[in-house]
Amino acid sequence: SMEHQPYRTGFHFQPPRNWMNDPNGPMYYKGVYHLFYQYNPYAAVWGNITWAHSISYDLVDWIHLENALSPDDPFDINGCWSGSATFLTGGKPVVLYTGSDTMKHQVQNLAEPKNLSDPLLREWVKSSHNPLMTPVDGIEPEFFRDPTTAWQGPDGLWRVLVGNRMDGHGWALLYRSRDFITWTRSKEPLHSSTRTGMWECPDFYPVSVDGKEGVDTSSFDDSTKHVLKASFNDCDHYVLGNYTPVTDNYSVDTDFLENGSDLRYDYGNFYASKTFFDGGKKRRILWGWIQEADSTTNDIEKGWSGLQSVPRSILLSKTGKQLVQWPVEEIEKLRTGNVSFENKKLEGGSVLEVSGITPSQADVEVSFDLSNLEEAELMDPSWIDPQLLCRQKTAPVRGNIGPFGILAFASKDMTEQTAIFFRVFRSDDKHVVLMCSDQSRSSLREGLKKETYGTFIDIDPLHEKISLRSLIDHSIVESFGGDGRACITARVYPKSAIDNQSYLYAFNNGTFDVNISNLNAWSMKKAQIVSSTKRRKPH
Ligand code: DQQ
């Protein structure tokens, strides 16, 4: 029933009720953060897709406003699908979005704010020129969607990418325009891949090679690399490369799924994400849709479906070979009631309760230092799929060095537990660190997806500690390994380990001891996510 809601979150963004999917058009305008999202105003299942709109001054507390775009014109009557915001010259924000038209063909449309002096941008007007881009010249009308934030080249032309499937494969089609109304498709796509199917929700942006700051979408120089993200196979994959704006040549360092490379924003439940440049704090921020892992029947029963990740700031790692992510610092103001300790030995086969906080709504940081690394088991060269390895070696499977980590959403008798942990293996001259999020025992309820996730993570345990931060929030745990080098998000629905029946433990199920060099855990306050009571005057 709607009254008993153990799975609603305390500090993750969600609408009061109904269905939510992709984040759309995030931006920072006149001191206000805007988030739009794919929303069904009528039910907790996908349909009637509308752009809902919420604003925030700190990315933590949110105010829901009126819907920004509704599917009520011929060029979007079957849905206002995903899209992105761009600041035009002079700072005017506009959005490009996909409409599903009267024939269910996908077309790209433009909308702009009615009143630029309203920092809340409450009212949006669709362009009289819509649709701006249509599926012609061999483009399949059902595989043509999700325009990116546009960027401007040195020739003054605007560029935008549109996700596409052609010849069964994934493409980022490139369009150019001088006036943002008339768009011409480039002969060459920005990029494509024969290793994947359709690309949804592409994203393309610069990251600084040496800096600690984010980079605005239209800036490029020798100190940036470009990220191309595409959503396929239920995950958000990215590549890094060098982009030349004059020619629109994009040459990737390593291609999607090439030579075993598998760079993802998140190795768990995280999809259709989008970044934006926050000109206030000079950072690039990532939002992602976290779907339910329960049945549709239960989604309807509880009256809602879908979360957004905690906004994450995103940078290039020092190695230049991957991105690193970290929850925006503002989220830390929800921290309260801290417990912490240092230098605690966790013997092989032991658990340690972390008490004194609210374990179902918490922020936990822990770092481990390891001796006995020469005792690590040998890495088998056939272990090329880290997720499969995590599925086979779940938390109860003992190793030498690991599994060690935390048990979130644990019942007192531990029959329910979500284990986020590491294992260390040895291969020739180096160590391999595996990070897993094991949901297989997360609930005694049947009928849930209890997928286990995993990834290898670029940590050298000889020279650094292995750190983990997990944001735990009633039915979601977002985990950041190695200071954000690997992220895994999971949805869980414990039957008994809810509210004050939920416990948190550190654990070591390896044979050898590990040392907790530092543990810090906080209860998290509830974010204030409220609906605007102001009603728009009827026309
Ligand atoms: N969701 C939108 C599409 C997009 C998909 C429709 C990705 O525009 O491709 O709700 O989740």
> Going by C-beta distance under 8 Å and a sequence separation of 6 or more, which residues neighbour residue 470?
363, 364, 406, 408, 420, 477, 478, 479, 480
pLDDT for residue 539: 45
Q: Where in the sequence numbering do the catalytic residues fall?
A: 22
β-strand partners of 384 = none
Residue 232 Cβ contacting ligand 1 at under 6 Å:
no
Residues 208-219 have a mean pLDDT of 92
Out of 46, 81, 274, mutate this one to test ligand 1's pocket (max ligand atoms within 8 Å of CB): namely 81
Number of helices followed by number of strands (H, E) in the chain: 2, 38
Cα separation, 248 vs 57, whole angstroms: 36
Q: How far is the CA of 526 from the centre of ligand 1 (A)?
A: 29
Banded model confidence at residue 532, pLDDT cuts 50, 70, 90: confident
Residue 20 Cβ contacting ligand 1 at under 6 Å:
no
Question: Cβ distance 13 to 36 under 8 Å?
Answer: no
- 3-state SS, 131-186, equals CCECCCCCCCCCCEECCCCCEECCCCCEEEEEEEEECCEEEEEEEEECCCCCCEEC
pLDDT for residue 535: 47
Model confidence over 94-147: pLDDT tens digits?
999 999 999 999 999 999 999 999 999 999 999 999 999 999 999 999 999 999
> Going by C-beta distance under 8 Å and a sequence separation of 6 or more, which residues neighbour residue 480?
325, 326, 327, 468, 469, 470, 486, 487
pLDDT for residue 163: 98
Integer distance in angstroms from the first to the last C-alpha of the chain?
A: 37
Q: Bigger pLDDT: 220 or 458? A: 458
pLDDT for residue 220: 83
Q: Which of 137-146, 206-215, 287-296, 321-330 has the lowest average pLDDT?
A: 206-215
pLDDT for residue 399: 97
Look up residue 500 and give its two tokens. 């004050």
Residue 100 Cβ contacting ligand 1 at under 6 Å:
no
Residue 81 Cβ contacting ligand 1 at under 6 Å:
yes
pLDDT for residue 253: 97
Query: In the sheet that 124-126 helps form, which strands lie side by side, from edge to edge?
Result: 80-87, 93-100, 106-113, 124-126
Question: Cβ distance 127 to 105 under 8 Å?
Answer: no
Out of 145, 162, 270, mutate this one to test ligand 1's pocket (max ligand atoms within 8 Å of CB): namely 145
Question: Cβ distance 49 to 306 under 8 Å?
Answer: no
Tracing tokens 């855990």 back to the chain, one arrives at 521
Residues 303-323 have a mean pLDDT of 97
Residues 172-195 have a mean pLDDT of 98
User: For the chain, what percentages of helix, strand and coil (3-state, to nearest 5) are there?
Assistant: 5, 45, 50
Out of 200, 229, 287, 305, mutate this one to test ligand 1's pocket (max ligand atoms within 8 Å of CB): namely 200
Tracing tokens 């380990």 back to the chain, one arrives at 497
Look at residue 525 and give its three-state secondary structure: coil
Banded model confidence at residue 222, pLDDT cuts 50, 70, 90: confident
Question: Cβ distance 266 to 323 under 8 Å?
Answer: no
Question: Cβ distance 424 to 432 under 8 Å?
Answer: yes
Residue 81 alpha carbon, nearest atom of ligand 1: 8
Residues 139-160 have a mean pLDDT of 98
Q: How far is the CA of 83 from the centre of ligand 1 (A)?
A: 9
Residues 378-384 have a mean pLDDT of 95
- Measured by CA distance, the residue closest to atom 9 of ligand 1 is 200
* Cis check: omega of the bond before 202, within 30 degrees of 0: no
pLDDT for residue 281: 97
Q: How far is the CA of 229 from the centre of ligand 1 (A)?
A: 15
Q: How far is the CA of 202 from the centre of ligand 1 (A)?
A: 11
Model confidence over 45-94: pLDDT tens digits?
999 999 999 999 999 999 999 999 999 999 999 999 999 999 999 999 99
Go through the domains of the chain in sequence order and give each one's CATH number. 18-329 (2.115.10.20), 335-524 (2.60.120.560)
Cα separation, 28 vs 281, whole angstroms: 10
Residue 38 Cβ contacting ligand 1 at under 6 Å:
yes
CA torsion sign, 390 to 391 to 392 to 397?
A: positive
Q: Which of 139-148, 212-221, 257-266 has the lowest average pLDDT?
A: 212-221
Residue 98 Cβ contacting ligand 1 at under 6 Å:
yes
Look up residue 338 and give its two tokens. 């801290």
Q: Is a pLDDT exceeding 70 seen at residue 432?
A: yes
ipTM summary value: 0.99
Residue 49 Cβ contacting ligand 1 at under 6 Å:
yes
